[in-house]
Chains A and B, each alone.
Chain A
Amino acid sequence: QKEVEQNSGPLSVPEGAIASLNCTYSDRGSQSFFWYRQYSGKSPELIMFIYSNGDKEDGRFTAQLNKASQYVSLLIRDSQPSDSATYLCAGGGSMNRDDKIIFGKGTRLHILP
């Protein structure tokens, strides 16, 4: 059974600080990983994807992937109240192959003004 595990939270972070969200996955065959943000009552929206070991930065967001440890993380710098949401980690096959992705249960992030 392929699984993606996340701490459900809530994770409370002061405004302006760095929020660190973590995720582990069980399937070593997974090659592509995604972070989605989901506001209450809304559908998930993609923040970042990553498929190479190391870091990938996009604005205030940095995704980190460690395939040896089967670990994915998302860092949010200069956290804003608008970042308060549930963050879903997901893993799937190759970026070049049509395949389903498996979601974690999500981590609730609360940015304290």
Chain B
Amino acid sequence: GAGVSQSPRYKVAKRGQDVALRCDPISGHVSLFWYQQALGQGPEFLTYFQNEAQLDKSGLPSDRFFAERPEGSVSTLKIQRTQQEDSAVYLCASRKNSGTQYFGPGTRLTVL
């Protein structure tokens, strides 16, 4: 079937705006992960869900970051009052049960 999809692919926000990033995982994949990747760096873990349960949110950098997956499928990462340091690529990955994660194309967020 289709791979992981993310939208929008690119987002430009003015500092202080709220943004919402969407991830559609591979159908049937139980686990969903969000990562933040700054230029020249590896992906940094933000949070992960098993079905609708958020099992680990230890990587969220501040309380301005919030993620949800209410029906255990699509997930949304919300960033409130965006700051310039939030500029990065936000990657979503899904996994069936354990082992290999499959990544989406990412959303490139630029905060001006």
Contact = CB atoms under 8 A, between A and B. Distances in A.
Interface in A29-81: 32, 34, 42-46, 49
Contacts, number: 54
B30 interface: yes
Interface of A: 4, 6, 8, 32, 34, 42-46, 49, 88, 94-106
Given A44-B91, A98-B95, 19 more contacts: A4-B42, A32-B99, A34-B100, A34-B101, A45-B103, A46-B101, A49-B99, A94-B98, A98-B30, A98-B31, A98-B50, A98-B55, A98-B97, A100-B48, A101-B101, A103-B35, A104-B42, A105-B41, A105-B42
A88 B43 contact: yes
User: What are the 7 A-B residue pairs with the smallest beta carbon separation, nearest first?
Assistant: A103-B42, A43-B103, A105-B42, A103-B43, A106-B42, A95-B99, A98-B98
- Which size bracket describes the interface of B in this complex? 20 to 34
A88 B42 contact: yes
Interface of B: 30-31, 33, 35, 40-45, 48, 50, 55-56, 91, 95, 97-106
A interface majority secondary structure: loop
